[in-house]
Structure 1
Amino acid sequence: MQANPYGLESLWIQGDLITKGVTTILVVMSIASWYVIVTKALQLLSYRRASHAAGHAFWDTTNLTEGVATLGTNNPFSDIAHAGITAMRHHAAHKGHLHDQLLVSDWVTMSLRQAIDETSGKLQAGMAVLASVGSTAPFVGLLGTVWGIYHALVSIGTSGQASIDKVAGPVGEALIMTALGLAVAIPATFGYNALVRSNKSTIAKLNKFGFDLHALFITGARSCSTEIVGDNGAKIVAVRST
């Protein structure tokens, strides 16, 4: 079976240094973006399981030790719970040094906030790669497109005629470069948008869990919000403990 003279294999064999360089860059960008997409998706999937435990199983236990055990390990919800427990123990152990400077509520709040911020930083790791690939890959492909069109014009100029056999190869090279740039940029862009939405949802759940933990450590009960409609129709959010 005869190989396609205008396929990817022929493009690589017949291409010059710039063509091969552009193709290599696009392949590397594609591998990097897919690596980030897959690893972040698996990370968010494990966080989703942990968030379910933090919203249900944790609060169905009879004591804090059992509750922390339901969260598992190596997830932000477990890290936040341990951060709160450590903060409470540290404040109690150094009460004589800390009570005049910082209330236990403020100390726990800062510890929980620091744990949430660390998780937020981990969630953002790799997102810059997707943003960069999604915004630059089309232009990298465009460079290959312009170079292919240049080759087509050179072929026309050297041959003196614009026959199809003279321009088909370079024009095909240009179109392939355009397609490669889009094939790299589109998944990176969609992946970035999907991961941003998932990250926001995860951070919102972390903040909610941290707020409930703060109430548990300070008051001994989980806080729950209830909407009450006033006489003027306005909604008032009341916080109660359970």
Structure 2
Amino acid sequence: MGVITDHLDLWGQALQGTLILFFGGGLIALVLGLIVGAMRVSPVPVARAVGTVYVSWIRNTPLTLVMFFFAFCVPILLRERIDPIVLPTIALGVYTATYVAETLRSGINTVPVGQAEAARALGLTFTQVMTLVVLPQATRSVIPPMMSVFIALLKNTTVAAGFSVLNLGSIRSWLSEQGENQLVVLLWVMLIFIVLVLLLAWLQRVFENRWRVAR
């Protein structure tokens, strides 16, 4: 326990960094993924093409390279200094959005086509059909795979450790410089991640039960 009690401030900062990366990246991924997912099933060919290119390009690029671009290339392009945690958070969101989009698309495909056609026959626009008819039904089927995406996002936050961001993935090197046992530090980091993942799994069950009652 001395590894934690002797460095509470450092552990607190590392946990805070991980949570900022997770919640910030998750919010970006949800918003962007919803947009891209809608584009992927859009009746407009150009929108479908843009969504397909985005998903294929970003998803097939290693996260490290995506984060490298945002951490080093974007500041050069913008010609200004940006908080070190902001750009990795955006990189995580942009990368995870591709998986959110594909998960939503798979959920949308579970909704019978006849329902969307009936809604359009009533005069609803594509946006209204998606928000009022398709997405509410698709959400129920995508909760488990969507939570898996966010569990992966939580673990991917450790990649930011290589870009000067203090989080649970980088605390080992910080404490190693202070003479702490690296194996013990890694075991504590593993335990913290297990607790966080269990919390997400519990949240998944809560959402599943709530939607099951709503049906």
Shorter chain as denominator, the TM-score bin is 0.3 to 0.5
Structure-2-length-normalised TM-score? 0.35
Structure 1 length-normalised TM: 0.31
Structure with the greater alpha carbon radius of gyration: 1
- Structure with bigger strand share is 1
Of the two structures, which has the highest relative contact order with CA contacts closer than 8 Å and spacing of 6 or more?
2
